[in-house]
Structure 1
Amino acid sequence: MTEQGKDHGYLLDNQQSEAGIRFGALAELFDPVTFRHIDRIGITEGMRCWEVGAGGPSVPAGLAERVGATGQVVCTDIDVSWARDAASDVVEVLRHDVAADPPPPGGFDLVHARLVLVHVVDRAEALHRMVQALRPGGVLLLEDADPGLQPLLCPDESGPEQRLANRLRSGFRELMASRGADLSYGRTLPRRLREAGLLDVRADAYFPITSPACTVLEAATVRQIRGRLVAAGIATDEDIDRHLANVATGDLDLATAPMISAWGRRP
């Protein structure tokens, strides 16, 4: 995330205790998808990778396994509190603003950002800097949510518990949009990679429903933004308590917004 995103666009502060729970749930949901793409791209021993807006340690650690002792992973974020555990002889962890700071030097075989640019206010500049950091033949892999494509927490809105869940999710989207998030950004990734001059652009999407990790993610997210939901008049404390109790039963079929993965190669 950028500093601007932290103040105006990024609603979920890494300093809060729930952040670690969220990173764990996001890793469980999306790491298999991310590494399926990374392995298809062909990230192997000796390569250099830049993990942008890392958040938690799981992706840097997985990249380190692939590049081995002769490779390097540079892991950056504006808040590296939860990524420090990934630091090693192979993984360098740096505090960095992707839309304001120069890219780490040296050039990269892979630049990857997951669930980052949707929150960054100056997305175009961040994307430009990531493209410029690629070596010739290097690949940019961007993965971002598109809440506009599927806005519901409970796609099967079958009762009052599901209606409450969807009302709170709608309020969460309003808060994100008011802070500069682009809720339709994910679907634009293939076009943006082509416009940036990348070749062999491909994309797909992943849409989890009814995973235990979705339940963990929702509870942690609502606890993080509870005060903002109440302050904005979107929900009362009683609404939130009732929703968290409903989530805790494990009986709601909770979903996430689709995560769109797009990748392209620098000539």
Structure 2
Amino acid sequence: MAEHDAERGYLLDNRQSEAGIRFGALSELFDPVTFRHVDRLGVTTGMRCWEVGAGSLSVPLGLAERVGPTGKVVATDIDVSWTEGVTDGVVEVLRHDVAADPPPPGGFDLVHARLVLVHVTHRAEALRRMVQALRPGGRLLLEDADPGLQPLLCPDESGPEQRLANRLRSGFRALMAARGADLTYGRTLPRLLRESGLEDVQADAYFPITSPACCVLEAATVRQIRGLLVSEGLATDDEIDGHLANVATGRLDLATAPMVSAWGRRP
């Protein structure tokens, strides 16, 4: 969830104080979706898995449970500051840039990246390297956001609180785009997997419209980018304070950008 092009600078840095809160909320929202796909793909004992741009422990540890002691899980990220507490031998953690470094050696039965490539400037090269890392018959599972499909934080824009929320979300999207994020990337995944030579390509999409985790995620995200929103003239401190207070009431029906999950098999 956090691999990126170091030259561009990731808008939501792993080291910032809100990052752990964000990763926890993302895990609560999307881990059930991810593992539904992982289990559908038949990830099981003895398999080798590469988790790209891991950002937190929940997915690598869930994969490790499935592959057991005879399997292997490699988790990579440009920033591995989140790895404290990983049990030795359960998950191998490597500092790695998916768009610049060779894939970890050995070949993999599953390569997975969630909310990663949308932030990677050289995403086509990153995808090529991920496909290259698959064993024959191995599966690639890519899950990425498509803010352009549903750009609103509050789809039900019923009052001033919702309008403010949507304006701040628009500012967040502008900051992402300025740093090289592709806000329409998710919808392209099925085609890109086919063009990469994968077979049996399928996809679906998921986004919650109302969830307590959406409120946690929104508050942490806004606090993390607050300085940039103000310095870029996208919001005032008073507007941000008002929005955070509105989010804290729990009465806003907050959504996330749709997450498109696409998977395919290497022949």
TM-score (norm 1): 0.98
Per the alignment, residue 117 of structure 2 pairs with 117
Q: For the Cα contact (< 8 Å) 2:61–2:90, is it kept in 1?
A: no
Q: CA deviation at 1:207?
A: 1.1
Q: CA deviation at 1:92?
A: 0.2
Q: CA deviation at 1:209?
A: 1.1
Structure 1: how far apart are the matches of 2:55 and 2:115?
10
Structure 2: how far apart are the matches of 1:96 and 1:134?
17
Count of matched residue positions in the alignment of Structure 1 and Structure 2: 266
Q: CA deviation at 1:88?
A: 3.0
Is 1:105 the counterpart of 2:79? The answer is no
Q: How does 1:104-183 map to 2 (within 5 A)?
A: 104-183=104-183
Give, as a single letter, the amino acid of the residue that structure 2 aligns with 1:67: V
Per the alignment, residue 217 of structure 2 pairs with 217
Q: CA deviation at 1:135?
A: 0.3
Structure 1: how far apart are the matches of 2:35 and 2:132?
23
Structure 2: how far apart are the matches of 1:81 and 1:38?
26
Q: For the Cα contact (< 8 Å) 2:25–2:214, is it kept in 1?
A: yes
Q: How does 1:6-155 map to 2 (within 5 A)?
A: 6-8=6-8, 10-155=10-155
Structure 2: how far apart are the matches of 1:114 and 1:40?
17
Q: CA deviation at 1:87?
A: 4.2
Per the alignment, residue 194 of structure 1 pairs with 194
Give, as a single letter, the amino acid of the residue that structure 2 aligns with 1:28: E
Q: CA deviation at 1:85?
A: 3.1
- Indicate the SS of the match to 1:39: helix
Q: For the Cα contact (< 8 Å) 2:52–2:113, is it kept in 1?
A: yes
Per the alignment, residue 265 of structure 2 pairs with 265
Per the alignment, residue 245 of structure 1 pairs with 245
Q: Residues 40-85 of structure 1: CA distance to partner in whole angstroms, max 9, x if unpaired?
A: 0000000000000000100001000000011100000001111343
- Indicate the SS of the match to 1:86: coil
Structure 2: how far apart are the matches of 1:133 and 1:57?
22
TM-score (norm 2): 0.98
Give, as a single letter, the amino acid of the residue that structure 2 aligns with 1:62: G
**Unmatched tracts of structure 2, length 5 or more:** none
Q: Which moved more, 1:78-87 or 1:211-220?
A: 78-87
Q: CA deviation at 1:2?
A: 5.0
Q: For the Cα contact (< 8 Å) 2:110–2:138, is it kept in 1?
A: yes
**% identity of equivalent residues:** 82
Give RMSD over aligned pairs: 1.0
- Indicate the SS of the match to 1:263: strand
Q: Residues 159-186 of structure 1: CA distance to partner in whole angstroms, max 9, x if unpaired?
A: 0000000000000000000110000000
Give, as a single letter, the amino acid of the residue that structure 2 aligns with 1:27: S
Q: CA deviation at 1:90?
A: 2.6
Per the alignment, residue 236 of structure 1 pairs with 236
